[in-house]
Amino acid sequence: MLDIGCGTGQTTRSAARRAYRGRAVGIDLFEPMLGRARHTAAAESVGNAEFELGDAQVHPFPSGGFDAAISRAGVMFFADSVAAFANIGRALRPGGRLAFVCHRDPSEEVEAVFAALAEYLPAPDSDVSTPGVVDLADPDRIRTVLGQAGFVETTATPRRS
């Protein structure tokens, strides 16, 4: 299992617990969060969780190295979503699956988080097709991006919490 934009590793650890015969690998751009992820995984005795520093858009994942890729709000900021998803797709074995969630309409609290990260994120643009918080909020856009990246049988299901 590959966890894109794993942050402090909560989703990676959860996946690792379910993959008791395998492993879960989290990748993120921020070493301090990965340090916390490694520390927490060790403290919780989750020995099959690994954490790597890298950019999922260009990271040299092993070809066909993963059964599945997941992301909880970690795929929204790719500079080139098609290239990034194509790279992730190459990391999946034939028949592998990708599942992710991303924000549709960020709440005020989420906007505060993104404001704090502003210097690390792409500048907002009025063009809906540019990367950003709601770049993948539209199911048609998701299907288009994933199709261009080589994914087939894509499904996008809007949810409200």
In a domain, 159, yes or no: no
Instruction: Give residue 24's pLDDT band: very low, low, confident or very high (50, 70, 90).
Output: very high
pLDDT of residue 132: 52
Kindly report the pTM of this predicted structure.
0.81
Crossing angle of the two packed helices 139-148 and 81-91, in degrees rounded to 10: 60
Residues 6+ apart with CB under 8 A from 153: none
Q: Using pLDDT thresholds of 50, 70 and 90, give the confidence band for residue 47.
A: very high
Range of the domain at 89: 2-148
Note whether residue 155 is domain-resident: no
E strands in the chain:
2-4, 24-28, 49-53, 66-72, 92-101
CATH of the domain at 28: 3.40.50.150
Domains: count for the chain: 1
Note whether residue 160 is domain-resident.
Answer: no
In a domain, 157, yes or no: no
Q: Is the residue at 109 inside a domain?
A: yes
> What type of residue is 156?
A
Residue 20 lies in a domain: yes
Burial class (CB in 10 A: 0-12, 13-18, 19+), 104: middle
Q: Is residue 158 part of a domain?
A: no
